[in-house]
């Protein structure tokens, strides 16, 4: 079941990223993402609100965009260097976006999941998995 949920999230065209402003106020934005190596990757502008927020407070949520088929991932985000070449083919395949040649979107954000919650209209109860359980499912995954 967890594999199916991760595949659904990985394949989704977009998701919503929630960050926390230095003032403590929330900020949410739609984003493109790929799932790679048990982590979620987002590419943003260095000056974006989400990028600045993550530099001040690494705790984030990222959600699947369907309110009747809920997937919520909590995690810790950080800016990472040296991942553009690794991620470029995945963003290219999924979005037809060459992140390696995009001079405006240069901040690579890596989100390490600490918790995943999922439920849908047919589910009797919410299911929850830890970050450790999530990392165990992703050893041989093709990123989305």
Tokens of 68: 């009747």
List domains and CATH numbers for the chain.
Answer: 2-134 (2.30.110.10)
127/12 Cα distance (integer angstroms):
20
DSSP summary character for residue 97: -
The secondary structure of residue 140, as a DSSP letter, is: T
Whole-model pTM: value is: 0.91
pLDDT at 138: 61
Q: What is the mean pLDDT of the chain?
A: 91
Tens of pLDDT, residues 46-103: 999 999 999 999 999 999 999 888 999 999 999 999 999 999 999 999 999 999 999 9
For residue 110, count other CB atoms closer than 10 A to its CB: 19
């Amino acid at each position: 079941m967890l594999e199916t949920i991760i595949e659904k999230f990985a394949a989704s065209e977009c998701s919503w990223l929630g960050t926390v402003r230095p003032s403590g106020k929330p900020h949410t934005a739609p984003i493109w993402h790929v799932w790679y190596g048990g982590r979620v990757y987002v590419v943003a502008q260095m000056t974006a609100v989400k990028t600045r927020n993550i530099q001040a407070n690494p705790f984030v949520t990222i959600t699947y965009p369907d309110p009747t088929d809920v997937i919520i991932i909590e995690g810790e985000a950080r800016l990472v260097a040296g991942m553009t070449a690794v991620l470029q083919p995945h963003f290219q395949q999924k979005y037809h976006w060459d992140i390696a040649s995009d001079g405006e979107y240069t901040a690579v954000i890596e989100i390490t999941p600490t918790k995943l919650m999922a439920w849908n209209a047919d589910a009797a109860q919410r299911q929850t998995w830890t970050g450790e359980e999530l990392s165990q499912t992703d050893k041989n995954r093709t990123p989305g």
